[in-house]
Amino acid sequence: MTASPALGTHPPATSDLLRSVFRQHAAGVAVITAAHGSRPVGFTATSLTSVSAAPPMISFGIGTGASSWPAVSEAAHVGVHILGEHQQELAATFARSGADRFGAPTSWREGPEGVPVLDGALAWLVCRVVARVPAGDHRLVLAEVVTGDGAGEGRPLLYHQGRFNALRD
Tens digits of residue pLDDT in 73-108: 999 999 999 999 999 999 999 999 889 999 999 999
pLDDT computed for residue 11 by the predictor: 74
Tens digits of residue pLDDT in 29-74: 999 999 988 899 999 999 999 999 999 999 999 999 999 999 999 9
Q: How far from 163 is each of 29, 34, 46, 48, CA to CA, in Å?
A: 11, 25, 12, 17
